Amino acid sequence: MSEKLIMAEEKLYKASQWKEAQREHRMNNPEKGDYWWEDHFCPVLVVLAFVPGHVVICDTKQNAENNKWCWDLTKITLVTKKAFIEKLEFGRAWLSDSKMLKTVEEFEKMYSSATMAAVLDS
């Protein structure tokens, strides 16, 4: 019995390789709120916004109450799309099934377009 095949990004994947196909697709087509993690669910980064040819990310965590963590939105980074993909490939990061939309909302409240440009330039 043959395995079901799934088409993604102009490539054909076996159904058992769906996670890999989804990972590759989202590395090339990130969305706001995408949360990437490595082994044992260690957080890698969250996608916050887009600037033509670039992705705005946060990859810095800070301690929160009750032995928890949160993203440090005072430390955002602008990376090229190529650097974004390389960062995820290097550590073998995986896309979480859930999005961090509250983090994106917090980020958007903190930074207007003008303030974000100034912060990214510094």
Q: Using an 8 Å Cβ cutoff, are 56 and 77 in contact? A: yes
Looking at residue 1, its pLDDT comes to: 43
Looking at residue 8, its pLDDT comes to: 57
Burial (CB count within 10 angstroms: exposed 0-12, middle 13-18, buried 19+), residue 84: buried
Burial (CB count within 10 angstroms: exposed 0-12, middle 13-18, buried 19+), residue 120: middle
pTM, 2 dp: 0.79
Per-residue pLDDT tens listing for the chain (122 residues): 455 555 555 666 676 777 788 888 889 999 999 999 987 778 999 999 988 889 999 999 999 888 889 999 999 999 999 999 999 987 688 888 889 999 999 999 988 766 666 666 65
| Residues 30, 4: Cα–Cα separation, whole Å | 26
